[in-house]
Structure 1
């Protein structure tokens, strides 16, 4: 079993003491990457819920590769990440939202170095009653408390601060100050030199007129900086002069209560001055001082790292990073730093030039504007042979991510646009589709109309180049007039594709073959329209090729039309379904076709191509994704659980594995985050290429790969099929088209075969039965006409 796709930027990372490793919180694990290569070295596995905080112990002979982690699973763990091994586990009984350990940062004096001091952590407890352990007291709000990491018995009952929700803790690089943001306030504590469970730290509060988003401390001086939701940066200098240094309120022989001597300070706060800088157009998300304290780094939604000179306020920029910025972390190695971005990437920077030398690329998060362009956004596309997944990115691109290696490979820019910090969405990559062998890609981009005018649809075909990367070969603007494209499907063996549209037609596209002239191979990969088809002007919502490419199935609203793609001839029409068909797929090399309906009457149907009839179906089954095995007669569906079943299973969706000939599922697995999820059968990794694996990717783009037919698959299954009840229908013959036929009376039929009289009306039964079992028309017509004639017994005169 392989899992991946975790979020690398949920919390700030941390460098090892030698700067050669970068520790990253990734779901319930901590991933350890090499800063030299950007590759994964090891993982710290033990937490059962997302890790929220990570603290690396300072460099020493005994703590060179040690760290502390905190999680919402209510535990704090001590690790040796060089092994890796968990050395100690502390159960706090409350979910931990944030954690800092100031005593690890504060240098000990020589006289105190020989004394043994307990190590205290400050934790922000999360008010999450669902995650808190049973039979334990639960906080009524976010709370900040102490925890003795050396001699742990229980979390301290002393509450430093209660907030409406848990807030992130920030500690100064010197370990002397601790701060949190609370709406329009900053609360700052001075950490005591000799800490204990009952020791009370002094606290001051700084006020602002806007909501504060982030704060950071100067590494050496009493300076604190904060960013707000409007993009402003505030810098308080000399904070805590009254309470932390002189309780009498005198500094250097003069009063500190004189507001004229404290420019920019609000409400007579305990600070000498407050200055404001403004460059960002929206909320500040990243704020950090340089290790020498001479510069301040800031970032936000613009995707630009701003370098402020603290004394003069002058700025330098690192532009076009391509995503909103979240964290900036210095390394013990002064030549390295890291910057975390909202697109699940961590860039390693070379200092002081701020050059990006390498990147750790996680899978890109789902589009934030899916609700704006609902109905246009495409699902992930999978490459069966190489185990890649292609997902859309925020900046109008496609990321190719290796599922087996769990790392991003490269990106293709579908629409050449730089990162824009505005919320307005003007272009959407609505479809991404890969051919069976992964050598061709089709994309559809839609320029949204403005005030009902404009709008443009562009179909693009891409080919793999010599570097195994996709490059665009053909642009087709408005391929279906002004109608949107509903589906793109590729021929399994030829360079042929079909695109269907809501405008009522489909088009077959072919790629020009290579031309040989005078012993030279001239590559001409342009695509051209081969044929156009339609059926009663009905919207074409889905399309699929059979395994050998001889049949093209196109959904025309509630019916399925079957075509000869080479001659563009309509072969047959089958159906009909209660709602428009939105998805079609042929099951492997069998002669079965799947169709999926959504909306108010969802239905999964299996059609027999040899009989041109419905084989079996499930009603009221809301299908989110379908995948068919390439060489097997199996398929899997991802279904959303109805409300009546959600309480029985852990999750909101279920994966059902079917043999196409049997309506009873072979296996089932309950899953979470099923909305927006996807399924795909993949060829086994290079070590076991003969295996057929199944991968599930959820709505947050986290995925798991497993063998659906092995022992591992049945261990993953939490419920048997008996626990699930769906309405199943099975129809054959004329029933799927014309409805139920009258039941056959065997006794009556037997009597009809013995004596054929006009009064028995045999024509009522001779046409009953499956279409493939009826006698030929020549026989039926003669029997039918003969039954209309009155038979008389000849008499001899």
Structure 2
């Protein structure tokens, strides 16, 4: 290795690096073999075919003892379930199925209130997508709406009590279950669709056809057991053979069982299962099924975007020859350009909902054929469900990016949506090396993560401390059409996102590949953080910062006192290094505007720059280009050092180690070289047994981590990333770890290293895996437990299914169901007075014979409890006393004079008071029925020639007059006094009433 300096009598530009004298090479440790021994041709050939070997003293291997699995936790769900969500009977909660777990969400808040899992210890595997026990179907128990029945790929039928969050029963049929249904006409039975693989190739000859069978399974086990203990069913009966079933359902009346698979709809009458299925042919492959809620016909969607209504459920179905396929009368609805993912009828049966890849919800009016649209829902629609309870009808959409969106049936607009971290729907179908990186940044001001969103042109801001998605930033406005015909449309993609150390600025790189009809685009966009609104605002857009070539590296300079001295460096495929600075301009209105402009451009021997980094104090700029690493003065752009090494001929990146920046770690694919910059010498060199992917330096301590390229573990059959932690003093790693996934990008956790004590090198990292999952890993994982991540009993679950009463519609919710919380007194406003009083009363804890006389303690003790009135209050009291003699009714203090001692407590309604109200309403109802009988016409005198209605004892012209009450005549009973004073019309009305009403 060599270090070349630019100091001397001649300027740096007049001396070539190969003419600068080399410093003495560092001493190498002795090796057990002779390095000068000449190798024969055979030995050279064998050496070239073997992986690089390092010195004996530095040899290490992750396969030997000492390697441990690093702690890690996932921030995202493992997969997105395509089963439609299921609502509870009252519509307060809905069930979402993710891997082997059941998440119970609140419809009002969207939060997960409970998570049901089949694991006995309650733990959940983060990689549930790789688990074979994936829940594929679920229904509410027709006999008990508080129970949920699920089926999984492991062949387990489980019955859950979701109110108590307990597993009641587990039945195994030892075949993978893909669909499940039940009906109240068949108690203690469920009907499941299972699949079996055969060696027969399909029509295209590209794979194996999947055959299935529909079974009737009894829920009565052979032996009595509950909970996690697996049981076997007492009866399993085959209904008929099918292809791979994509939909299985009963008709509302329970008279028909329908399954759709391949190009056929299989129909079986429930009155005679022995006859098997009748097959009705569809011209296209079917994808989903839905039954009309009241009539005997069903709807299907296919892979060409067609929706068909099938009218084939009649008595002629049973009379058929075995193996004969029929054509049915159908009605076709077509709008979708691609496959229909899900369909659902509204509860009244007047509308049909459909959705698919177009990200548009289509509402069909069946009797007219007209349609309405809810466009741009955010992502492809996987599932549709209709909320049957609640005050108003809503549609729930399960999107491909793990978002749930509620659509109001009245306005056909998205009323609310809930998501944790939006997933990339194409991640599961993407190859490991499709993209080499993904945008990932940490915003220090808000301790949030900036992650790639479900669409490649957007970013999402996520807060790991609260496990909530803050917002989404559309970096490149894009028309999010799915695809044109069968060829996908290439959209803009955010390649990189970095933030400044102060958190005020963010730089992004988004690009779009060109084709025959479109030129490629590359944009450098710099965003400013608005602390008032809490959003990123676009400040500067630079078109093609490095021409048509891609940008290879972007880095902000460290935080400086003068914010205008902040710099941004970019390197590109045009072999140029560009430095950008902040410029301020004053408009005519006096407003100061800030923007970013190019400051300077660098180059070195037409070498391609690969990576750029800054020293911790911002004085040096390190550029990795070609076969060397160049150090520039950040203020003058003068080349200070050129570092080269024969052992590291093609460096890929270089990073300053530690807060002082004394060491520089230079990394290539197989080698790592640690430079001591003040000594201008190499500290040590090491060859690695695995290719090096990334280097990550600790932001405070003199340690760094090497992340190697992922390899496939033969035992675990998944990608494993070896990680080695180093200190500058030794080339041997002081810690070796592995994590069971590969990485696209890695960054420091927002609150990890700042909270660790001094002298402790704790690594806590966040990364994006090759499947676009977000994980935390390292020594100290402090990921907050997500709300509802464990099985919890649903509070107030006994009220599920109870509709609101008429009394509650008029007067609101009952105080017994939703008690009003008692307001708390502000502790801050009373803390000073209470602390003063507590200190004074503490003096009374001494023995009586040691205390002074009570006369000397009374005055100061009372002063600590009682607050004297202010002069302003005394003035108002004097004015109130003066007005007391003028107006008796206005005596006392006015509203301004009231002194509020504390907040008024809410009165608690008890049962006695409720009984009084019930009795009052009963008496009011009885009295209203007897109004005509008990009505008494009072004689009202004339006042000023006009009749006025007045009470019995009224005042006329200032003189009180008493209207006497009619007295009973001799011989007339007292109970008939009202009847004697009735008008002739009232007497007729009384005669028509029944004796029970007039009594």
Structure 1 residues 625, 615: CA separation in 2 closer, same or farther (over 3 Å shift)? same
The residue number in structure 2 matching 1:498 is 569
1:278 equivalent in alignment to 2:334? yes
Post-superposition offset of 1:347? 0.3
Kindly tell me: are residues 547 and 573 of structure 1, through their superposed partners in 2, closer, same or farther at Cα, counting changes over 3 Å?
A: same
Q: Deviations over 1:266-290 (max 9, x none)?
A: x87263x112222112222222222
> Contact 1:553/1:563 (CA < 8 Å) preserved in 2?
yes
Matched with 1:454 is 519
Higher relative contact order (CA 8 A, sep 6+): 2
2:595 is aligned with 1:561? no
> 1:42 deviation in Å?
2.4
**CA 1:608–1:709 in 2, change beyond 3 Å: closer, same or farther?**
farther
Is the alpha carbon distance of 1:703 and 1:381 closer, same or farther for their aligned partners in structure 2, counting shifts above 3 Å?
closer
Q: Deviations over 1:406-459 (max 9, x none)?
A: 442211111122211211214332222233454322111223223287323211
* Distance (Å, rounded) in 1 between the aligned partners of 2:626 and 2:766: 30
The TM-score normalised by the length of structure 1 is 0.74
* 1:489 maps to 2:555: yes
CA gap 1:420/1:373 in 2 versus in 1, 3 angstroms: farther
**Distance of aligned partners of 1:80 and 1:586 in 2 relative to their CA distance in 1, 3 Å threshold:** farther
Does structure 2 conserve the Cα–Cα contact (< 8 Å) formed by 1:232 and 1:279? yes
Aligned to 2:545: 479
Judging changes above 3 Å, is the alpha-carbon distance between structure 1 residues 329 and 238 closer, same or farther for their aligned structure 2 residues?
same
Q: What is the number of equivalent residue pairs in this alignment?
A: 659
Matched, 1:11 2:89: no
Contact 2:245 2:260 in 1 (8 A): no
- Could you say what secondary structure the match of 2:355 adopts? strand
- Unmatched 5+ stretches in structure 1: 109-116, 130-138, 194-198, 250-266, 713-797
CA contact (8 A) 1:442 1:460 kept: yes
Contact 2:245-2:259 at 8 Å conserved across structures? no
Give deviations 1:619-645, integer Å, cap 9, x for gaps: 4523445433322334344434446xx
Match of residue 81, structure 1, among 132, 137, 162: 162
Match of residue 343 from structure 1: 401
Q: Where does 1:310-329 land on structure 2 (aligned, <5 Å)?
A: 310-329=366-385
Alpha-carbon distance between aligned partners in 2 of 1:606 and 1:648, rounded to the nearest angstrom? 34
Note if contact 1:650-1:671 (Cα within 8 Å) is conserved in structure 2: no
Q: Find 2:95's aligned residue among 6, 15, 23.
A: 23
How has the CA–CA distance of structure 1 residues 505 and 234 changed in structure 2, closer, same or farther, with 3 Å as cutoff? same
* Higher helix fraction (1 or 2): 2
Matched, 1:591 2:656: no
CA shift digits 1:289-328 (9 cap, x unpaired): 2222111111222211111111221111111223221111
Within a 5 Å distance, the mapping from 1:375-774 to structure 2 comes to 378-383=437-442, 385=444, 386-394=447-455, 396-422=457-483, 423-451=488-516, 454-465=519-530, 466-494=532-560, 495-512=566-583, 524-576=593-645, 580-589=650-659, 590-597=661-668, 602-603=670-671, 606-610=674-678, 611-613=680-682, 615-619=684-688, 621-642=690-711, 646-649=713-716, 651-661=718-728, 662-674=730-742, 677-684=744-751, 693-708=764-779
**Residue among 348, 359, 378 paired with 2:417:** 359
Q: Does 1:118 align with 2:177?
A: no
Residue 20 of structure 1: CA displacement? 1.7
Counterpart Cα distance in 2 of 1:538 and 1:500? 11
Q: Check the 8 A contact 2:96/2:104 in 1, yes or no.
A: yes
* More strand, by proportion: 1
2:548 aligned counterpart, secondary structure: coil
Distance 1:583 1:173 in 2: 66
SS class of match (2:316)? helix
Equivalent in the alignment of 1:296: 352
CA contact (8 A) 1:239 1:270 kept: no
C-alpha distance 220-597 of structure 1, shift in aligned 2 (>3 A): farther
- Conserved? CA contact 1:30–1:51, under 8 Å: no
Change (3 A) 1:149 1:678: farther
Shift, 1:368, TM fit: 3.8
1:31-46 → structure 2 map (5 Å cutoff) = 31-46=103-118
Q: 1:29 to 1:565 in 2, by over 3 A?
A: farther
Please state how far the C-alpha of 1:603 moved relative to its aligned partner: 4.7
User: For residues 623 and 453 of structure 1, what CA distance do their matches in structure 2 show?
Assistant: 37
- SS of the residue 1:503 aligns to: coil
Rounded to whole Å, the distance in 1 between the matches of 2:303 and 2:198 is: 26
- 2:326 match: 269
Q: Report Cα offsets for 1:51-89 as digits up to 9, x if no partner.
A: 3235353588xx454323333354343333344333333
* Stretch of structure 1 that moved more, 440-449 or 87-96: 87-96
Q: Confirm or deny: 8 A CA contact 2:280 2:325 kept in the other structure.
A: no
- CA deviations 1:647-683 (Å, max 9, x no partner) are 2455312241403334444445544442x54333214
Runs of at least 5 residues in structure 2 that lack an aligned partner in the other structure? 1-71, 120-124, 126-130, 200-208, 223-230, 561-565, 784-999
| Partners of 1:513 and 1:524 within 8 A in 2 | yes
TM-score normalised by L of structure 2: 0.60
CA distance in 2, matches of 1:215, 1:624: 47
Q: Using the alignment, how far apart are the partners of 1:666 and 1:384 within structure 2?
A: 30
Is 1:68 the equivalent of 2:138?
Answer: no
The Cα RMSD (Å) is: 3.9
Structure 1 residue 223 and structure 2 residue 297: aligned? yes
Aligned to 1:100: 180
Q: Check whether the contact 1:303–1:320 (CA below 8 A) recurs between aligned residues.
A: yes
**1:188 aligned to 267, 275, 282, which one?**
267
